[in-house]
Chains A and B, each alone.
Chain A
Protein backbone atom coordinates (compact mmCIF):
# COMPACT_ATOMS: atom_id res chain seq x y z
CA UNK A 1 0.00 0.00 0.00
CA UNK A 2 1.45 3.42 -0.92
CA UNK A 3 2.51 5.58 2.00
CA UNK A 4 4.02 8.94 2.82
CA UNK A 5 7.57 8.68 4.12
CA UNK A 6 9.61 11.22 6.06
CA UNK A 7 13.30 11.52 6.89
CA UNK A 8 14.92 11.77 9.31
CA UNK A 9 12.72 10.37 12.06
CA UNK A 10 14.54 12.51 14.62
CA UNK A 11 16.68 15.60 14.08
CA UNK A 12 18.63 17.41 16.77
CA UNK A 13 20.04 20.83 15.96
CA UNK A 14 21.53 23.88 17.63
CA UNK A 15 19.53 27.09 17.86
CA UNK A 16 20.21 29.30 14.85
CA UNK A 17 21.06 26.42 12.52
CA UNK A 18 19.16 25.65 9.33
CA UNK A 19 17.32 22.35 9.02
CA UNK A 20 15.66 20.65 6.08
CA UNK A 21 12.96 18.09 6.72
CA UNK A 22 12.22 15.73 3.87
CA UNK A 23 9.07 14.02 2.74
CA UNK A 24 8.21 11.69 -0.12
CA UNK A 25 4.46 12.00 -0.75
CA UNK A 26 2.36 9.29 -2.40
CA UNK A 27 3.36 9.26 -6.04
CA UNK A 28 0.19 10.33 -7.86
CA UNK A 29 -0.87 12.90 -5.28
CA UNK A 30 -1.13 16.56 -6.19
CA UNK A 31 -1.57 18.42 -2.89
CA UNK A 32 1.11 18.50 -0.21
CA UNK A 33 1.00 19.77 3.34
CA UNK A 34 3.14 20.37 6.40
CA UNK A 35 1.77 20.30 9.93
CA UNK A 36 3.48 20.41 13.30
CA UNK A 37 2.64 19.34 16.82
CA UNK A 38 4.41 20.95 19.75
CA UNK A 39 4.45 18.52 22.67
CA UNK A 40 1.14 18.57 24.52
CA UNK A 41 -0.56 20.81 21.98
CA UNK A 42 -2.78 20.33 18.94
CA UNK A 43 -1.53 19.38 15.51
CA UNK A 44 -1.33 22.70 13.62
CA UNK A 45 -1.46 23.39 9.90
CA UNK A 46 1.61 25.17 8.50
CA UNK A 47 1.36 25.26 4.71
CA UNK A 48 -0.16 23.65 1.63
CA UNK A 49 1.46 23.33 -1.77
CA UNK A 50 -0.13 22.70 -5.15
CA UNK A 51 1.04 23.08 -8.72
CA UNK A 52 4.54 24.01 -7.57
CA UNK A 53 3.53 26.91 -5.39
CA UNK A 54 2.25 27.66 -1.92
CA UNK A 55 -1.55 27.62 -1.87
CA UNK A 56 -2.25 28.49 1.73
CA UNK A 57 -0.18 29.16 4.82
CA UNK A 58 -0.91 29.76 8.47
CA UNK A 59 0.35 32.54 10.72
CA UNK A 60 3.01 30.16 12.01
CA UNK A 61 4.59 29.88 8.56
CA UNK A 62 6.66 33.06 8.66
CA UNK A 63 9.73 34.10 6.67
CA UNK A 64 12.00 31.61 8.39
CA UNK A 65 10.06 28.73 6.79
CA UNK A 66 10.11 27.71 3.15
CA UNK A 67 8.91 24.70 1.16
CA UNK A 68 10.12 23.22 -2.05
CA UNK A 69 9.45 20.35 -4.38
CA UNK A 70 12.94 20.05 -5.86
CA UNK A 71 12.18 17.05 -8.06
CA UNK A 72 9.21 14.84 -8.91
CA UNK A 73 9.19 12.97 -5.65
CA UNK A 74 10.50 14.99 -2.69
CA UNK A 75 8.76 17.73 -0.74
CA UNK A 76 10.90 19.62 1.76
CA UNK A 77 10.38 22.02 4.64
CA UNK A 78 13.30 24.31 5.44
CA UNK A 79 13.62 26.23 8.68
CA UNK A 80 16.24 28.91 8.10
CA UNK A 81 17.35 29.78 11.61
CA UNK A 82 15.86 27.46 14.18
CA UNK A 83 14.56 28.68 17.53
CA UNK A 84 13.91 26.70 20.70
CA UNK A 85 10.17 27.01 20.10
CA UNK A 86 10.50 25.23 16.74
CA UNK A 87 10.98 21.96 18.65
CA UNK A 88 8.03 19.85 17.58
CA UNK A 89 6.90 16.84 15.59
CA UNK A 90 6.59 17.84 11.92
CA UNK A 91 4.15 15.88 9.76
CA UNK A 92 3.97 15.81 6.01
CA UNK A 93 0.70 14.88 4.27
CA UNK A 94 -0.50 14.49 0.73
CA UNK A 95 -3.74 13.94 -1.12
CA UNK A 96 -4.92 13.21 -4.61
CA UNK A 97 -6.80 15.73 -6.71
CA UNK A 98 -10.36 14.61 -6.04
CA UNK A 99 -10.23 13.06 -2.62
CA UNK A 100 -10.77 14.87 0.67
CA UNK A 101 -8.65 12.45 2.71
CA UNK A 102 -5.10 13.50 3.54
CA UNK A 103 -2.49 10.77 4.08
CA UNK A 104 0.11 11.46 6.73
CA UNK A 105 3.72 10.45 7.16
CA UNK A 106 5.12 9.22 10.50
CA UNK A 107 6.62 12.60 11.34
CA UNK A 108 10.07 14.03 12.05
CA UNK A 109 10.76 14.95 15.66
CA UNK A 110 12.83 18.14 15.64
CA UNK A 111 14.71 19.05 18.82
CA UNK A 112 16.34 22.48 18.95
CA UNK A 113 18.94 22.89 21.71
Chain B
Protein backbone atom coordinates (compact mmCIF):
# COMPACT_ATOMS: atom_id res chain seq x y z
CA UNK B 1 0.00 0.00 0.00
CA UNK B 2 1.46 3.34 -1.07
CA UNK B 3 1.63 5.97 1.66
CA UNK B 4 1.46 9.63 0.70
CA UNK B 5 1.43 12.03 3.64
CA UNK B 6 0.94 15.77 3.77
CA UNK B 7 1.67 18.14 6.61
CA UNK B 8 0.34 20.13 8.20
CA UNK B 9 -3.32 19.13 7.80
CA UNK B 10 -4.42 22.74 8.15
CA UNK B 11 -2.70 26.08 8.27
CA UNK B 12 -3.81 29.62 9.10
CA UNK B 13 -1.61 32.32 7.60
CA UNK B 14 -1.84 36.10 7.71
CA UNK B 15 -2.31 37.85 4.40
CA UNK B 16 1.07 38.89 3.02
CA UNK B 17 3.03 36.19 4.84
CA UNK B 18 4.79 33.39 3.03
CA UNK B 19 4.16 29.76 3.83
CA UNK B 20 5.12 26.25 2.84
CA UNK B 21 3.93 22.71 3.35
CA UNK B 22 5.18 19.20 2.69
CA UNK B 23 4.27 16.07 0.81
CA UNK B 24 6.12 12.82 1.49
CA UNK B 25 5.84 9.80 -0.78
CA UNK B 26 7.57 6.48 -1.52
CA UNK B 27 11.04 7.01 -2.99
CA UNK B 28 10.90 3.73 -4.90
CA UNK B 29 9.03 3.20 -8.15
CA UNK B 30 8.59 6.95 -8.63
CA UNK B 31 7.36 8.42 -11.91
CA UNK B 32 5.73 11.79 -11.12
CA UNK B 33 4.40 13.95 -8.32
CA UNK B 34 1.35 16.16 -8.88
CA UNK B 35 0.20 19.19 -6.92
CA UNK B 36 -3.44 20.23 -7.15
CA UNK B 37 -5.28 23.23 -5.71
CA UNK B 38 -8.86 22.46 -4.73
CA UNK B 39 -11.55 24.93 -3.74
CA UNK B 40 -14.90 23.65 -2.51
CA UNK B 41 -17.44 23.04 -5.29
CA UNK B 42 -14.79 23.46 -7.97
CA UNK B 43 -12.59 21.03 -9.89
CA UNK B 44 -9.17 20.32 -8.41
CA UNK B 45 -6.84 22.49 -10.48
CA UNK B 46 -3.46 21.13 -11.53
CA UNK B 47 -0.61 23.34 -10.32
CA UNK B 48 2.48 21.27 -11.12
CA UNK B 49 3.55 17.89 -12.43
CA UNK B 50 7.10 17.11 -11.35
CA UNK B 51 9.18 14.22 -12.58
CA UNK B 52 12.89 14.88 -12.09
CA UNK B 53 14.83 14.84 -8.84
CA UNK B 54 15.78 18.42 -7.99
CA UNK B 55 12.96 19.85 -10.11
CA UNK B 56 11.79 23.31 -9.15
CA UNK B 57 8.66 24.73 -10.73
CA UNK B 58 7.04 28.14 -10.36
CA UNK B 59 3.63 29.58 -11.21
CA UNK B 60 3.28 33.19 -10.12
CA UNK B 61 3.71 33.31 -6.33
CA UNK B 62 3.55 29.54 -5.97
CA UNK B 63 6.55 27.26 -6.39
CA UNK B 64 7.40 23.64 -5.67
CA UNK B 65 10.52 21.53 -5.25
CA UNK B 66 11.04 17.81 -5.58
CA UNK B 67 13.42 15.34 -3.93
CA UNK B 68 12.75 11.85 -5.26
CA UNK B 69 15.69 10.23 -3.44
CA UNK B 70 14.31 11.05 -0.02
CA UNK B 71 10.69 11.14 -1.12
CA UNK B 72 9.43 14.63 -0.41
CA UNK B 73 8.15 17.75 -2.15
CA UNK B 74 7.60 21.24 -0.77
CA UNK B 75 5.01 23.74 -1.97
CA UNK B 76 5.76 27.40 -1.26
CA UNK B 77 3.41 30.36 -1.45
CA UNK B 78 4.99 33.80 -1.32
CA UNK B 79 3.01 36.80 -0.08
CA UNK B 80 -0.23 34.90 0.62
CA UNK B 81 -3.47 36.42 -0.62
CA UNK B 82 -7.06 35.54 0.42
CA UNK B 83 -7.62 33.86 -2.95
CA UNK B 84 -4.89 31.35 -2.04
CA UNK B 85 -7.27 29.85 0.53
CA UNK B 86 -7.90 26.28 -0.65
CA UNK B 87 -6.94 22.67 -0.01
CA UNK B 88 -3.63 21.72 -1.62
CA UNK B 89 -3.38 18.07 -2.64
CA UNK B 90 -0.33 16.15 -3.68
CA UNK B 91 -0.60 12.92 -5.65
CA UNK B 92 1.98 10.25 -6.39
CA UNK B 93 2.14 8.59 -9.80
CA UNK B 94 4.33 5.52 -9.83
CA UNK B 95 5.25 2.41 -11.73
CA UNK B 96 6.00 2.54 -15.39
CA UNK B 97 4.00 5.69 -15.85
CA UNK B 98 1.54 3.78 -17.92
CA UNK B 99 -1.38 5.93 -18.87
CA UNK B 100 -3.92 3.90 -17.00
CA UNK B 101 -2.31 4.12 -13.57
CA UNK B 102 -4.28 5.88 -10.91
CA UNK B 103 -2.93 8.61 -8.66
CA UNK B 104 -2.34 8.06 -4.94
CA UNK B 105 -3.30 11.16 -3.00
CA UNK B 106 -2.31 12.64 0.31
CA UNK B 107 -4.99 13.96 2.63
CA UNK B 108 -4.30 17.56 1.69
CA UNK B 109 -3.25 20.73 3.47
CA UNK B 110 -6.18 23.06 4.13
CA UNK B 111 -4.85 26.62 3.88
CA UNK B 112 -6.76 29.61 5.24
CA UNK B 113 -5.45 33.10 4.59
CA UNK B 114 -6.62 35.60 7.18
CA UNK B 115 -6.96 39.24 6.03
Chain A residues within CB distance 8 Å of chain B: 3-4, 9, 30-31, 33, 35, 41-50, 55-56, 58, 91, 95, 97, 100-107
Contacts and interface: CB of A to CB of B under 8 A. Distances in A.
Contacts, number: 64
Interface of A is mostly: strand
B106 A42 contact: yes
Interface of B is mostly: loop
B83 interface: no
Interface of B: 4, 31-32, 34, 36, 41-44, 46, 49, 51, 89, 91, 93, 97, 99-108
A106 B44 CA distance: 7
B49 A100 contact: yes
B94 to A, nearest CB: 12
Contacts of A43: 89, 91, 103, 105
